[in-house]
Amino acid sequence: MPRRSVYLKKSECKVYKEILLYHRARIRQDVSAMANAALKQTRSEASGDLSSMPIHMADVGSDNFDQEFTLSLMENDEETLELIESALERIESTTYGLCVECEGRIPKTRLKAIPHTPHCVKCASKLES
């Protein structure tokens, strides 16, 4: 049986849930916009539309960099979405606010800054090093 979050009230969890749902919707919208832009560029290249094709080698390099950068942003956003989904599941199971490593309390200031965090500061520091 999962340990219950003893220091977060239902009303507090509701606020965090609303914040997480807002962030999830915003990130999904961003990912969708980036994917649509990448598809639009790919389609114009595939159709032979040379009006948008770069002529200079530096332009080709810039386009490649932009595409790699967009893919990197999308990957980071997907990881954040997974963390948000996990946080929403912890709210439902009443374990939100507890570190998944040590089961200690995650400070409310940390939850306000990073509402999808699964770790307390101490465990997060250990995982980063």
SS (H, E, C) the chain: CCCCCCCCCHHHHHHHHHHHHHHHHHHHHHHHHHHHHHHHHHHHHHCCCHHHCCCCHHHHHHHHHHHHHHHHHHHHHHHHHHHHHHHHHHHHCCCCCECCCCCCECCHHHHHHCCCCCCCHHHHHHHHC
Average pLDDT over residues 111-116: 96
Which span out of 5-9, 56-60, 88-92 was modeled with the highest average pLDDT? 88-92
Can you list the domains of the chain with their CATH numbers? Answer: 10-128 (1.20.120.910)
pTM of the model: 0.72
Residue 98 has φ and ψ, to the nearest 5°, of: -110, 135
